[in-house]
Amino acid sequence: MSFNRKIQTIQKRSDSLLCVGLDTDAAKLPLHLRSKKNGILEFNKRIIESTKDLVCAYKINFAFYEVLGKEGWTIIEKTLALIPSAVLTIADAKRGDIGNTSSQYARAIFNEMGFDSVTVSPYMGIDSVQPFLEQKDKGVFLLALTSNKGAFDFQYRKSGKKRLFEEVVTTAQKWTSHNNLGFVVGATKSTDIRSVRKLAPDAPFLVPGIGAQGGSVEEVVKYGCTSNGSGILINASRSILYASSEKDFAGAARSEALKLKNEINFFRHTFF
């Protein structure tokens, strides 16, 4: 089964487009976990247990674990093992380097660690991305239009008649025939999601920027979904992870995740 087909299957089974970002910040853990040796892992475990029936994916942001050194890599490994096989896993690592280096990154993330997909930067071009696309059951979310303020520095600049992010989307789709390429499209750029969707009508979109960053769920669903009302993975991290700083954090996270899932599905049923 191709990666993109796998996403469709998971989203249909879970009736969810929600992705929870496990961007776990040690400084934001509930107080009762901050002093525990395995506090971050315990936090991740409780979040997964309380939300696994509500999501289609979990995204692990490597930066929040790499900062912990060797321990951080162990936590990634153990957290990954807690995620049900029926839920998609995304390594938010933003890799991308010369071909032989990317080959090693791909081997590490897919074969050694066992992630289903990875975020990749397109700046260095085809040879930096193709190693991640060689396994059709493993996926790539290529950075196209990001939600940060700095996106305007380069992504909106004209490349011929197209803006740079549009050129990235158009060009990158020629790099694989395995149906395993998607794009990162920020929720705060919701009016431009239409442009990306027109260029890539069937590609999955990983959409950060909902929740703490203020992206519109309604606009993301309306302009980002494929024709059947799926094809986007709407990521929320802080708004779910830190819904409570008390011992009830897992229950609060579940409530916030359920609220967001229901909001997403409301607009899906409205528009599709």
Give the residue numbers marked as catalytic.
94
CB 156 within 8 A of CB 195: no
58 HSE (CA, 13 A, CB side): 28
What's CA 79's distance to the chain center, in Å? Answer: 16
Distance CA(93)–CA(14), nearest Å, equals 25
What is the tally of helices (H) and strands (E) in the chain?
13, 10
**Cα separation, 185 vs 167, whole angstroms:** 14
CA distance 118 to 105: 10
Q: Which of 238, 160, 163, 158 is nearest to 194 (CA)?
A: 163
